[in-house]
Amino acid sequence: MSDESLCIRTFAEVIRARMNKKARIKNFDAEKKSFQSDAEAKRNNKDVNLSQVYPLYKLLLDSIVYIAVESGENGIPDIDAPMTSQLKNGEWEINQKIKEIAQRKGMKAEVTSFFDANLVPNIPTAVLPSVLEDVDALVRDAVDVKKRRRDALKQAYQQRKSDASYLAEVWLLAVCNGTNKKDEARALTIVTSETDNIADPFKALIKAEALIAALPAPLQIEPPEEPLGEEQLYIGELYAAYGDKEGITDFCESYLPQFSEYDEDMKERRIDYFAAESIRRGVSELYSGRYANQFDVLKDETFTGVKNTARRTFPNGYEKMLCVMEQAALIQVRRYILSQSPNWISNRIKMGICHFLVNDKKLRWVNR
């Protein structure tokens, strides 16, 4: 297990081969706020083979969402065979909604209760110690877990109050912190392990830049037909810019049909905004959030590059906006680590960042 990542598939595969082939799952009774008794489970539930991919992965994911499902929470995906198969094969990352639930306060206690009822009792007693040892080894050898966290989990393993509690803690870390896709996990392994052993830091930098350049593109978000609430600030500023040029103080959406230039401009600006939004969401998920701060870096770099242009005098707000956008497309954003990847930076993205700066009230097209 050397140089493995700690993620959903590695955690699951450590234990899957040792799970009971005839297991009974105890359902959660929301009214009683407890799991079924052994007798109720035997009477009402069929045996499942937890050594198979779908039943085990579903069991593990259910440990996170069972309370939310019982409470009728929206947005929780169905845990089906294709999902679990792709997780096992390292083709998918965890669904973002499941990951968000896993990060909530009190989740360790909920997962521990579930594991007490349905995971630990279905690991044969004779092999349970070796399962725990293998999980400990997975944590110890994980290249994507910081040493301080590994040490804390080692202590949790040695001083554990219960097997279920320890397994719940490692499982939640695997879900929230681990990179499940094999290509990304492998890249992270190379960056973490190989560069540590390269004497020349510039060679390490070249390797890291090559890996970043090969990153797959983030999910591209298309502008919805109707603007979202978070778009209102920058769209309002665009209306002010259009009105400033035309001498219309109350310029709004209703004027767009009369001005084809601005109607087309608005469509283009929204595409730019969502190009940047794709990056904001993408970095929050890339390598399980390790690069989430890079969106702020990108905003800072962009603002530094355009602020002098924004301070100049212009005949109207529309001309100011156009000049700032032209400057944004020209600037370099070297402090933004992902600038080495054509999938994670473009002129549209940099211009879209300007709209985020408007939302942050760092840029305005019309002084009022």
At 222-264, the pLDDT tens digits run 999 999 999 999 999 999 999 999 999 999 999 999 999 999 9
Q: Say what the pLDDT of residue 196 is.
A: 47
- Tell whether the model's pLDDT for residue 199 goes beyond 80: no
- H or E stretch covering 29: strand 28-29
Cβ–Cβ under 8 Å, residues 169 and 149: no
Residue 7 falls in which region: left (phi positive, over 0), alpha (psi -120 to 50) or beta: beta
Side-chain-side CA neighbours of 9 within 13 Å: the count stands at 19
- Tell whether the model's pLDDT for residue 41 goes beyond 60: yes
Q: In the structure, what pLDDT confidence band is assigned to residue 208 with cuts at 50, 70 and 90? A: low
Q: In the structure, what pLDDT confidence band is assigned to residue 140 with cuts at 50, 70 and 90? A: confident
Bigger pLDDT: 41 vs 304: 304
- Boundaries of every domain in the chain: 8-180, 181-214, 229-359
Rounded to the nearest angstrom, the gap between the alpha carbon of residue 82 and the centroid of all alpha carbons in its chain is 20
Tell me the C-alpha distance between 287 and 282, whole Å. Answer: 10
**Three-state secondary structure call for residue 35:** strand
SS (H, E, C) 287-322: HHHCCCCHHHHHHHHHHHHHHHHHHCCCCCHHHHHH
**Distance between first and last Cα of the chain:** 62
Which residue has 């840029």 as its token pair? 363
Instruction: Quick: pLDDT tens for 71-130.
Output: 899 989 999 999 999 899 888 888 889 989 999 999 999 999 999 999 999 999 999 999
Instruction: Quick: pLDDT tens for 49-75.
Output: 999 999 999 999 999 999 999 989 998
Instruction: Quick: pLDDT tens for 279-299.
Output: 999 888 776 677 889 999 999
